[in-house]
Structure 1
Amino acid sequence: MSNSAAAAILTTEDLPEAIRAVRTLLDIADVSQGEVDFEAVIRSSDVLTQIRHVLPGLEWWAKAGQELGSSEAGDDPADRLPVRVFDWGRPLDRAEPFIAALGSDLAAVRWDLDAWPAVPEAGLEEISQKYAYLTLTVNSRDLYQEEPSQDHTVHVHVRDRNGGQTTRVHWLADRVGGRFTGRVRLAPL
């Protein structure tokens, strides 16, 4: 397992603004074989119903602990709320319906990109799939749904052999009208 550094570049209470920023970044990235991963804490049965419609067959377990209920055990998640849900490797078109279904529940949506492209005028080389990710945290400031918030944060994950990580983060932040404040979290991949 490897890790990446997730740099916060935009925090806003306006979810449509955060989604516009994500779309802009996806337009920059190589997403020809991209996938999207989901993690969330679901607290309401209405949200759970909508999420299960968007992501049939998702994995979950009781937030209080897997031994108190899980998809693996065949339990009904509606009887175990709140639950943590995980879903990996979905098509990119599942992201926005998932976000729309969340209401006030907490989530992290991570786009696994093929690459961040080279930007010769900024002195940036292409960053391969191994270190090219984008995460939107919804109703949470952190990647793990432990810091509830009424705002949403766009994080970019980058790594550059030549030390251009900060340059790339600033360059990406500029594309979406954000700014890199220095807030970086380790993100296991």
Structure 2
Amino acid sequence: MSNSAAAAVLTTADLTEAIRAVRTLLSKADIDRGEVDFEAVIRSPHVLAQVLHVLPDLRWWASADEEHGSSAAGDDPADCLPIRVFDWGRPLDRAEPFVAALGPDPAAVRWDLDAWPAVPEAGLEAISQKYAYLTLTVNSRDLYQDEPSQDHTIHVHARDRTSDQIARVHWLADQVGGRFSGRVELAPL
């Protein structure tokens, strides 16, 4: 297992703006075999119903711990709220409906890309799938939903904090009218 450096490049209170920025960044990536991963804390029956409509076979466990309920045990998630969602390897088209279903609950949606292509005019070489990720945190400033907030943050993943890696972060931030804030979180891949 390896880690990446998830660099915050745009924070906004406008979820529509965040989704638009994600779409722009995805248009810069190779996504032919991409997939999406979800992590969330779901607190209300209403949000749970909306999320289950998007992902009927949702993988989750009770926030207290798995002994208090989980999808693996066949428990009813409505009886175990709040729950933590850890659902991986979904088709890309599930991302936006999942985000729309969240309401005020915090989440992280990570797009696992095939690559960040080379950008010769910016002096950037291609980055392989191993480090080609993009994460949108919704109603949270961090990747792990530990800092709930009223805004949403886009993180671009880099292999490390070397100048060539940070150059791509700056370039991608520029593509969406953001800027690299200097905030980086360690993200297990």
> Which residue of structure 1 aligns with residue 176 of structure 2?
176
- After superposition, the C-alpha distances for 1:119-175 in whole angstroms (9 at most, x for unaligned) are 111111000000000000000000011110000000001237974011000000000
Q: Does 1:21 align with 2:24?
A: no
**1:162/1:68 Cα in 2 relative to 1: closer, same or farther (>3 Å)?**
closer
Alignment: residue pair count: 189
> Which residue of structure 1 aligns with residue 107 of structure 2?
107
8 Å CA contact retained: 2:156, 2:169? yes
8 Å CA contact retained: 2:21, 2:176? yes
**What is the alpha-carbon distance in structure 1 between the residues aligned to residue 89 and residue 56 of structure 2?**
13
Q: How does 1:12-51 map to 2 (within 5 A)?
A: 12-51=12-51
Structure 2-normalised TM-score? 0.97
For 2:94, the aligned partner's letter is R
SS in 1 for 2:71: coil
CA RMSD of aligned residues (A): 1.3
SS in 1 for 2:137: strand
Q: How does 1:117-156 map to 2 (within 5 A)?
A: 117-156=117-156
What is the Cα deviation at residue 67 of structure 1? 1.2
**What is the alpha-carbon distance in structure 1 between the residues aligned to residue 64 and residue 120 of structure 2?**
49
Structure 1-normalised TM-score? 0.97
**What is the alpha-carbon distance in structure 1 between the residues aligned to residue 134 and residue 162 of structure 2?**
21
**1:45/1:120 Cα in 2 relative to 1: closer, same or farther (>3 Å)?**
same
Q: Does 1:64 align with 2:64?
A: yes
8 Å CA contact retained: 1:116, 1:132? yes
For 2:144, the aligned partner's letter is Y
8 Å CA contact retained: 1:118, 1:125? yes
**1:103/1:161 Cα in 2 relative to 1: closer, same or farther (>3 Å)?**
closer
8 Å CA contact retained: 1:127, 1:160? no
SS in 2 for 1:164: helix
8 Å CA contact retained: 1:127, 1:159? no
SS in 1 for 2:16: helix
> Which residue of structure 1 aligns with residue 90 of structure 2?
90
**What is the alpha-carbon distance in structure 1 between the residues aligned to residue 178 and residue 172 of structure 2?**
8
